[in-house]
Amino acid sequence: MKPHTGLHSLWQRGVEYFGCEVAILGGAMSWVSDSTLVSALSNCGAFGVIAASSMPPHLLEAEIEKTKTKTTQPFGVNLIIMHPQLAELVEVCIRQKVSHVVLAGGIPKSETVKRLVEASVKVIGFAPSVGIGRKLIKQGVSALVIEGHEAGGHIGPVSTSVLAQEILPEIRDVPVFVAGGIGRGEAIASFLEMGASGVQLGTRFVCAAESIAHPKFKEAFVRAAARDAIPSVQVDPDFPVIPVRAIANKASDAFTRFQIETIAKVKSGELDKKKAQLDIEHFWAGALRRAVIDGDVENGSLMAGQSVGMVSKIQPMKEIIEELLKQATDYLDRQNRHAA
Mean pLDDT of 284-297: 92
Q: What are phi and psi of 304, to 5 degrees?
A: -160, 150
Mean pLDDT value across residues 168-177: 98
Residue 246, H or E segment: strand 244-247
- Which range has the worst mean pLDDT, 12-26, 178-192, 249-263? 249-263
Span 55-97, pLDDT tens digits: 999 999 999 999 999 999 999 999 999 899 999 999 999 999 9
Q: Give the pLDDT confidence score for residue 79 in this predicted structure.
A: 97
Q: Which domains does the chain have, with CATH numbers?
A: 5-212+310-339 (3.20.20.70), 225-292 (no CATH)
Mean pLDDT of 116-134: 98
Q: What mean pLDDT is predicted for residues 257-266? A: 94
**What global pTM score does this model have?**
0.94
Q: Does an H or E element contain 195, and which?
A: none
Q: Residue 330: count other Cβ atoms within 10 Å of its Cβ.
A: 14
d(CA 324, CA 184): 6
Answer whether 104's CB lies under 8 Å from 28's CB: yes
| Residue, of 127 and 2, whose pLDDT is higher | 127
pLDDT at 3: 55
**Confidence band (pLDDT; 50, 70, 90) for 212?**
very high
Q: For the segment 194-205, what is each residue's pLDDT rounded down to a tens digit?
A: 999 999 999 999
Query: What's the half-sphere exposure (Cβ side, CA atoms, 13 Å) at 335?
Result: 12
Structural contact between residues 67 and 35, judged by C-beta atoms closer than 8 angstroms: yes
| pLDDT value, residue 5 | 66
Nearest alpha carbon to residue 31 among 2, 53, 9, 60: 53
Half-sphere exposure in the Cβ direction for 66 (13 Å, CA): 14
